[in-house]
Amino acid sequence: MSAASFDVAALRQLLPEPIVGPVTSVTPIHMGLSGAGVFAVTGARGEYILRVQGERADDLSWTQQLRVLRRAAEHGIAPAILHVDEGARAVISVRVGVPLPAALADPAQRAPAIAAVVERVRALHAIDPSGVEERDAVDFARGAWEAQRGRAGFPGWAAGIGAALDAIAAVLARDPRRVVSHNDLNPGNVLWDGARAWLVDWEVAGLAHPYYDLAAFVTFLALDTEAANGLLALQERAPLDDGARATFAALRQLVALVAGCIFLGLVPNLAVLTAPTRADAPTLLACYAEMRAGKLDLQAPRGRAAVGLALLRIGTEPTQPSV
């Protein structure tokens, strides 16, 4: 069930009255690209979020997502869970805060909100990893690239991604640490209540390198290398050595490459927006400016193509990830 088309009567069956009270409204929310149906629910007992798993996920993915989500909620990293319908793959949680991008637009809230996200990521990485499988981001990136590179309109300047992924894998092989990770930590998957950050949308949660979540976060924030490394030092609570900086740079590049391919994979016809050279691709900051101005819609093919090309532009930077 998607948020774009939904049956209110069917949704009400997933909202037990003893938990939420009589339901007065159900409103679809467009959050992320996972395919899940996400709905804001007002009941007599409060405000809630109902999330119904996307049809693309298999049983193992759902089981792992739920396992990690429950642990994250127990530790105050995800909003509190009130009810789970495992058969329908539906979760009801307490509604908290506002999407992080709204807070980032306020200069007074930006720094504390970002610092709060870093602390939540640190807390996530400390939870029990038992029973959680690793998600190999490099293998996933290869699959995403292979699925896109032969399509008409895929940029020729991104044809060397395979070699870049080999180099990234070689860097990551030096550090085998793995922790429980969100694995899709873009700002749209973070809520901010004015004092605390909350992570949502756990569909691809699993074990990953302890720098991966932050690498995703800073890439989507379009931070420069110095600012990004500063946040990693905050997460690690220690100065960074050359090895840490190299690993973090590799993971930032990996995030940009895989996310770029994913976004382009959501575009039916890549001719909607082309970039003959890397310099022709939009920057991520330019995409964000157009979104704020209402000129670019991330739910539309052109918007997704623009962001996909912008991310590939970052991931194919000759020296290091940049915006």
pLDDT tens digit sequence for 300-323: 999 999 999 999 999 999 864 433
Please, what are the averages of pLDDT over each run of 10 residues along the chain (323 residues)?
63 92 90 75 95 78 95 98 94 95 93 98 98 95 95 94 96 96 96 96 96 98 97 97 97 98 97 96 96 94 98 87 38
For residue 29, the domain's CATH number is 3.30.200.20
| 65 and 121 assigned to the same domain | no
pLDDT of residue 9: 81
| 163 and 250 assigned to the same domain | yes
pLDDT tens digit sequence for 86-126: 999 999 999 999 999 989 999 999 999 999 999 999 999 99
| The domain boundary residue, chosen from 95, 126, 156 | 95
| 77 and 123 assigned to the same domain | no
pLDDT of residue 160: 87
What torsion, rounded to 10 degrees, do the Cα atoms 34, 36, 39, 44 define? -130
| 63 and 175 assigned to the same domain | no
| 29 and 117 assigned to the same domain | no
pLDDT of residue 57: 65
Length of the chain measured in residues: 323
In a domain, 321, yes or no: no
Q: Give the C-alpha separation, 46 to 23, whole Å.
A: 10
Q: Give the C-alpha separation, 303 to 287, whole Å.
A: 8
Q: Give the C-alpha separation, 65 to 53, whole Å.
A: 10
| 40 and 175 assigned to the same domain | no
DSSP conformation letters of 220-266: HHT--HHHHHHHHHHHHTS---HHHHHHHHHHHHHHHHHHHHHHHHT
| Entry pTM | 0.92
Domain that holds residue 49: 8-95
In a domain, 322, yes or no: no
Contact 270, 153 (CB under 8 A): yes
262: Cα within 13 Å, side-chain hemisphere: 15
Q: How far is residue 17 from each of residues 20, 21, 83, 86, 219, measured CA to CA in Å?
A: 5, 4, 11, 18, 42
In a domain, 49, yes or no: yes
> Which residue in 232, 253, 250 sits closest to 312, CA to CA?
253
pLDDT of residue 322: 37
Structural domains of the chain, count:
2
| 51 and 170 assigned to the same domain | no
Contact 323, 285 (CB under 8 A): yes
What torsion, rounded to 10 degrees, do the Cα atoms 217, 222, 227, 228 define? 40
| 131 and 44 assigned to the same domain | no
pLDDT of residue 31: 55
pLDDT of residue 323: 37
Q: What percent of the chain has pLDDT over 70?
A: 94
| 251 and 274 assigned to the same domain | yes
| 293 and 146 assigned to the same domain | yes
Contact 210, 177 (CB under 8 A): yes
Residue 27's CB: how many other CB atoms inside 10 A? Answer: 10
Q: Give the C-alpha separation, 228 to 231, whole Å.
A: 5
Backbone angles phi, psi at 134, to 5 degrees: -75, 145
| The domain boundary residue, chosen from 95, 124, 159 | 95
| 233 and 272 assigned to the same domain | yes
| 58 and 73 assigned to the same domain | yes
Our measurement of the distance from residue 117's CA atom to the centroid of its chain's CA atoms, rounded to an integer in Å, reads 13
For residue 259, the domain's CATH number is 3.90.1200.10
In a domain, 271, yes or no: yes
